[in-house]
Structure 1
Amino acid sequence: MAARRDLADSAAAHGGGAGLGSRGGGGDGVLGWVARQGLVEGLGLVYFNYPQHLEGMDPDEVKRALSTAGLAAGGVALRFPGRFRAGALTNPDAALRAEALALALGACGWARDLGASEVVVWSAFDGYDYHMQGRGERQRAAPGGASGTPLIARPPAGPQRSAAQQCRRLAALADAGATWRDLMHARSSADYDLAWRRLAEGLSALADGCGPRVNVSLEWKPTDPSSRFSFVPSTAAALLLAREVNRPSFGLTLDTGHMLMAGENPAHSAAMVAAAGKLFGMHLNDGHSRVGAEDGLIFGSVHPAAALELVYWLRRVGYGGAVYFDTFPVNEDPVREAELNIRRFKQLWARAAQLDEAGIAAALLRHDSLGAMGLIDQEGVTGAAGPLQALAAASSGGPRALNRGVQSNTAEATVSRDEL
């Protein structure tokens, strides 16, 4: 399966390959993409992939390009390169874990240099593919280290303990005052717990290293071609991890497509994370929810009712951050596609306000689905062409669009609450 389409290699990123500029208006390479994104009506912020888009660049040159385009840097999106295939912060090799943390801290440095507010962490590699694979202490890459080389789980050196011996060992540790976590770490099969601990420790160190001026936000994803099972496979797991990290500058970025892939209701997930005070970012998109697929379609194009409910709850919880349209317009003009995402979000935001005024909250308190849908019908949100047809007539006012990714073939947009 092909890699994510937003991960340009450094040659393309610096002008050697087709990008947004190939559709006209800005030229290829990172600075050309910034100029191209300046053409998107309503766009305000850019998020850069690191290291793919920024390695070898000069911060002052990037800031000048942003200023010329009428844009600003919102943050840096961390994308670990292929050498971390066996894991980034969970890699069995301590040297590679340290390298992954150093790379992440480099993203924080770029965020500070560009005047951005956050680093968004997404790792395709912190997970596993097979049962009994459990990427833990004893797993190493096969000789050669080529991309896609199978991983080998080697047995520990020395004699193996029997089950009875292991139980006696754990009992002795418990009698000596060991905690539950100590006991888990003492088990020979504690690979999942070990990976969890490494994630928590690595993200804690990253949040501490970034400092209070740059937030660290984890973008969880349940499955990916690079690791079919993620160590953080759900919103609930991500919230549990945020509790363990326990840093005020550490939170979560929720991606609509990822939540749909995990079988979640995006509005419910956003409400839970907001209630915990950890909703740092929103990625809006849509998809057909096929197993293992990330479609990156226009927001609300497949699940319009879910899109409206999600925006309603973002209003209700007082979400004040940016939202990111993480879409893949392969066959569409990326500027027009970004503008459509922006318009749709603004229309949905205005529509959610109308539903509030119509008293939909009372229907929700009664768990009255028919009453809620009746209000939506009364307000003209349904029709032969679907809910979004009527939304086009909603107020044109709304949030300022921001852009979170200078990417090889996407024009991703985000929206902030400051102009609602």
Structure 2
Amino acid sequence: MAIRNSILLGTLGRYADRFHQFQKPRSLAERLDLATTIPRTHGVEPVYPQDLGYQGEHVDLVKASGLAVSAVNVNVKSEDKFRAGSFTNPDAGVRREATQYLKTAMDLASDLGADMITVCPLIDGWDYAFQVDFRSQWRWLVEAFSEASAYRSDVKISIEYKAYESRNRIILPSMGRTLHFCNTVGADTLGVTIDVGHALIAGETPAAEICLAHDAGRLFYIHFNDNNRGADWDMLPASVNFWETLEALFYMRELGWDGWVAYDVFTRHGADDEAIASTFQIMEDLDKIIDRIGMDQIRALRTDGTPARTFAALTRALV
């Protein structure tokens, strides 16, 4: 399977937790220059508005890099005005601003030659019982994405779900609820970004959710990383959940996936560009493992074998 690799530009800049900073800040131009030096890089995922500017002031920098754009990532969480929510903020004016972010990002994506934006509504949800009106939140979310979906038909909107963070509970925490939301809105151009790490912390099986979204006609985008299912650590793919990652790649082949794959991988150890280069190598090697085992052999094991026989055969292929 030929994977089209895209780098989330944020992974090539400052990375910090509550206690330490692990990577140095870099300007957009510096991150783009660095991305062009990483082998197997086919595209990038810039953030609106932080990378591109509120009116697209920095779009020309991305164009000048020569890198394709897989999608424009819309950030509706970090600015102070979104403290109480973005699309579900009780203030109608803030909700209008958040919806306009989607529309402007769609325009910029088209200008950059991309046909998709992706958005993760991390600040939309709740922390406590009785804190929000669930019916109003859902209605406001539907209104925002209905308006944005109707804005232009040539740019898709892909929703990246997550169980928690920034809120203790996020309004779109799972694949099933996100697909239900897309069906409620009803727009064909509204779909799902599955982040493998987000699926893991939600207790999901990534391959199963990929199949579900594909069968619904709403699998638009895939992010790869890994974690221990306890928190979204954005680790190297397959570094913890090896078999689940390999299974996801197997089903991507089964489904004939030919879309973009982006990598939300941050490192506290070593250089960030080295981590991304290693990520690309890992994914390529995982693809070769599937070749070594053979698609037909995996299908036969899945259909006819017991789990013991299956894993014995799979591990034998790795020796």
Match of 2:17 in 1: none
Quick one: distance in 1 between partners of 2:80 and 2:270?
A: 28
Quick one: distance in 2 between partners of 1:49 and 1:59?
A: 11
Q: Is the 8 A contact 1:20 1:33 kept in 2?
A: no
Q: Deviations over 1:253-287 (max 9, x none)?
A: 00111111111111111111111111111110011
C-alpha distance 195-82 of structure 1, shift in aligned 2 (>3 A): same
- CA shift, 1:222, in A, is 0.4
Quick one: distance in 2 between partners of 1:340 and 1:275?
A: 32
Match of 2:40 in 1: 42
TM-score by length of 2: 0.88
Q: CA RMSD for the aligned pairs?
A: 2.4
Q: Is the 8 A contact 1:358 1:375 kept in 2?
A: no
1:241 and 2:239 equivalent? no
- CA shift, 1:351, in A, is 2.0
- Of the three residues 78, 89, 104, the one matched with 2:74 is 78
Q: Is the 8 A contact 1:253 1:283 kept in 2?
A: yes
Q: Is the 8 A contact 2:59 2:108 kept in 1?
A: no
Match of 2:310 in 1: 372
Number of equivalenced pairs: 302
Quick one: distance in 2 between partners of 1:82 and 1:7?
A: 22
C-alpha distance 357-229 of structure 1, shift in aligned 2 (>3 A): closer
Q: Is the 8 A contact 1:254 1:281 kept in 2?
A: yes
Q: Deviations over 1:292-348 (max 9, x none)?
A: x22111001011111111111111111111111101123321221111111111121
1:62 and 2:58 equivalent? no
1:303 and 2:241 equivalent? yes
Quick one: distance in 2 between partners of 1:375 and 1:95?
A: 59
Percent identical among aligned pairs is 27
- CA shift, 1:6, in A, is 4.2
Match of 1:294 in 2: 232
Match of 2:31 in 1: 33
Q: Is the 8 A contact 2:162 2:172 kept in 1?
A: yes
Give 3-state SS (helix, strand or coil) of 2:237's partner. Answer: coil
Give 3-state SS (helix, strand or coil) of 1:286's partner. Answer: coil
Bigger radius of gyration: 1
C-alpha distance 330-93 of structure 1, shift in aligned 2 (>3 A): same
- Of the three residues 263, 283, 286, the one matched with 1:348 is 286
Q: Is the 8 A contact 2:52 2:59 kept in 1?
A: no
Quick one: distance in 1 between partners of 2:59 and 2:309?
A: 55
Gaps of 5+ in 1: 10-17, 23-27, 135-190, 383-420
Quick one: distance in 2 between partners of 1:75 and 1:261?
A: 24
Give 3-state SS (helix, strand or coil) of 1:359's partner. Answer: helix
Quick one: distance in 2 between partners of 1:99 and 1:362?
A: 52
1:316 and 2:251 equivalent? no
1:205 and 2:147 equivalent? yes
Q: Is the 8 A contact 1:252 1:280 kept in 2?
A: yes
Q: Is the 8 A contact 2:82 2:123 kept in 1?
A: yes
- Of the three residues 273, 283, 286, the one matched with 2:223 is 283
Q: Which amino acid aligns with 2:64?
A: A
Quick one: distance in 1 between partners of 2:113 and 2:295?
A: 38
Give 3-state SS (helix, strand or coil) of 2:217's partner. Answer: coil
Q: Is the 8 A contact 1:117 1:213 kept in 2?
A: yes
Match of 1:229 in 2: 169
